[in-house]
Chain A
């Protein structure tokens, strides 16, 4: 922590700095019995600076104190801390940095660099991994990107069968007047664990996997459309080892459009096909078959996820309401509501909760929350 502050002071002294500071207080409670789950106060400084035009740095931190909850000691973690170096055709980023691949916002099959997605809302879950990225620009609208992640956070010790944790994500991107196109190939350590069996039970193990596919986004009859198509190839290509998830084919499609100038509608659809899907596990795995399939998200060979969200603002955009619904195979349903009040340009109050949880969020208690935020830009 002391080193971090010394580094911050050094950066501040040596370069032009652009800074904002956000304070939040968040309260989460259980819908079932009003039990308080968490009450936390956080400070989130965001700093950006440049030593020269071609050497810039970014630091986003989260310092928090939990009044009520599981972690009552003051803590801090790094959202982002990286430097960017730029040359005529190259951009190089190194450090802890958020990287989102793919073009859809939800069910994105390429978003595998970190262990979070755009659905992740709690700041402490937005922990990025240490990485280095090189972007090589053929021209200003076409580039090749290579991301290297040497290991992922906190779980360095958990690797499957002695495989290394190195991850490489290669992608090609081009922005044309009619569509934006991307191609991807990655060989990476999957953040979602596989399992080994050692008497008396299962142990988590992190395996290497591959992912390949393409993305496209364009205007489609006045809608903004995005498509991510990917083939996830697991370490168990033929689906013979029950402890390793099987390979999958993902097709994620997104449409979004604004109506009447204030109503934003977005629909997402994911069709997932699991290769060699099997519910008939041999002993001793058979006793864990439903757990494993659920853990891998591979209960069915074909599954369909649908998500619809509607966002509307009122009173000069001071008040915003967002309702979203989600369904898996039209069997499990979820509906959530978030209401945001922008009390001033600095103060924001957010409240919401799980309206109709049925199956999809069963790993967590159904929650409601209040978050108050104050941001000052220096």
Chain B
């Protein structure tokens, strides 16, 4: 009798592969308007409470079926003012490419992204790889449980890179992603390092509704192992059209 009840419980609360796939698709659709423009304020908070601030304008556009482009133009602090970062990602077809315009040397430099999670983005707890779109084909997905995160019931899905090389490149073994039950929005993510220890946690603190999209307008990434935290606020969020010419080397170096 107990066994039967347990099986019934599993049937009721286990998501099928199709369910997981539809959650992922909906989550992806919600946060992926064809183009997006934001003003971002990034606060880098050390364990002892010291806060550094980076301000930038961010642009994102789905250029075609494969290519997604992002551009960051930094305006604060003075050490990075005038610099820019251009990222082209191509799903599974090619590895993402990055170029940085350094205002101090007035030149565009190509940056290698292939190792160490691509390095941390501007001293934050987000790696460059956290910023680029990665194809879902390269991960396995497994429903784990339901859990309440900051007042919202979420589906918890374990997402693990299929290839060992990808795990090494990303710097983690797997993540636990929390999708809100009410709308499938990804609301939190826990990252586990290559030895399986909790490395960092990502939390959405505020969501902005933009027509048919919902965009996290305040997010926090905290490294549990070293106590460092990054808080990003996105302001002046717009989904209006952005010209393709902005995601080019010409714009990066001559704007």
The answer to whether A and B belong to the same complex is: yes
Report the interface size for chain A: residues with CB under 8 A from the other chain. 46
Indicate if the CB atoms of A377 and B112 lie closer than 8 Å: no
Closest to A224 in B: B112
Main DSSP-derived SS at the A contact region: strand
Q: Residue A180 at the B interface, CB < 8 A?
A: yes
Question: Looking at the complex, which one of B94, B97, B123 makes contact with A317 (CB distance below 8 Å)?
Answer: B123
Contact B110–A100 (Cβ < 8 Å): no
Question: Which chain A residues border B77 with CB–CB below 8 Å?
Answer: 342, 345-346, 375, 377
Contacting chain A: which of B10-18, B29-37, B187-195, B245-253?
B245-253
User: A179 to chain B: closest CB distance in Å?
Assistant: 8
**Is there a chain B Cβ closer than 8 Å to A162's Cβ?**
no
* Chain A, Cβ-Cβ closest to B103: A46
**A143 and B76 contact, CB distance less than 8 A:** no
Partner of A177, one of B90, B111, B116, B119: B90
Q: Which residue of B lies closest to A102 (CB)?
A: B107
A375 to B77, CA, bound (A): 9
Interface size class of chain B, counting residues whose CB lies under 8 Å from the partner chain: 35 or more
CA A222 to CA B95, docked complex, whole Å: 12
A236 adjacent to chain B (CB < 8 Å): no
- Say which residue of B53, B78, B116 sits within 8 Å of A258 (CB atoms): B116
Say yes or no: A377 contacts B249, CB within 8 Å.
no
Are the C-beta atoms of A219 and B112 separated by less than 8 Å? yes
Q: Which of B53, B81, B88, B97 has the most CB of A within 10 A?
A: B97
Inter-chain CA distance A348–B80, complex, in Å, is 13
Closest to A220 in B: B112
- Interchain CA distance A154-B90 in the complex, whole Å: 50
Contact B99 A175 (CB under 8 A): yes
Contact mask B65-76 → A, CB, 8 Å, 1/0? 000000000011
Q: How far is the CB of B143 from chain A (nearest CB, A)?
A: 32
Q: Which residues of B contact A220 (CB under 8 A)?
A: 112
B226 and chain A: residue at smallest CB distance: A261
B106 near A377: Cβ-Cβ < 8 Å: no
In the complex, how many angstroms separate the beta carbon of A24 from the nearest chain B beta carbon? 12
Is A197 interfacial (CB 8 A cutoff)?
no
Report the separation of the CA atoms of residues A218 and B111 in the bound assembly, to the nearest whole angstrom.
Answer: 8
Any B CB within 8 A of the CB of A105? yes
Q: Are A224 and B111 in contact (CB under 8 A)?
A: yes
A283 to chain B, nearest CB (A): 46
Q: Does B254 contact A (CB under 8 A)?
A: yes
How far is the CB of B105 from the nearest CB of chain A, in Å? Answer: 6
Nearest B residue to A48, CB-CB? B82
Query: How far is A225 from B109 in the complex, measured between Cα atoms in Å?
Result: 10
- Within 8 Å by CB of A219, from B46, B75, B76, B113, lies B113
Q: Kindly identify which residue among B75, B110, B119 contacts A217, using a CB–CB cutoff of 8 Å.
A: B110
Q: Specify which of A103, A175, A217, A257 is in contact with B249 (CB 8 Å cutoff).
A: A175
- A22 in contact with B52 given A219-B113, A257-B115 (CB within 8 Å): no
The interface residues of chain B lying within 8 Å CB-to-CB of A5 are none
Whether A140 and B250, one on each chain, are in contact in the complex, defined by CB atoms closer than 8 angstroms, is: yes
Q: Is the C-beta of A156 less than 8 angstroms from some C-beta in chain B? A: no
Q: How far is the CB of B163 from chain A (nearest CB, A)?
A: 16
- The one of A177, A223, A348 in contact with B112, judged by C-beta atoms closer than 8 angstroms, is A223
Complex CA–CA separation, A175 to B97 (angstroms): 10
Q: Is B167 an interface residue (CB 8 A)?
A: no
Is A155 located at the chain interface by the 8 A CB criterion? no
Q: Is A86 an interface residue (CB 8 A)?
A: yes
Q: A105-B105, A257-B115, A318-B50 are in contact. Are A20 and B254 (CB under 8 A)?
A: no
A100 engages B123 (CB within 8 Å) = no
| One of A99, A137, A315 near B250 (C-beta < 8 A) | A137
Q: A316 contacts the other chain (Cβ, under 8 Å)?
A: yes
A257, B110: Cα distance in complex, Å: 12
The residues of A with any CB-CB pair to B shorter than 8 Å are 20, 22, 84, 86, 91, 98-100, 103, 105, 118, 135, 137, 140-141, 143, 175, 177, 180, 217-220, 222-226, 256-262, 313, 315-318, 342, 345-346, 348, 375, 377
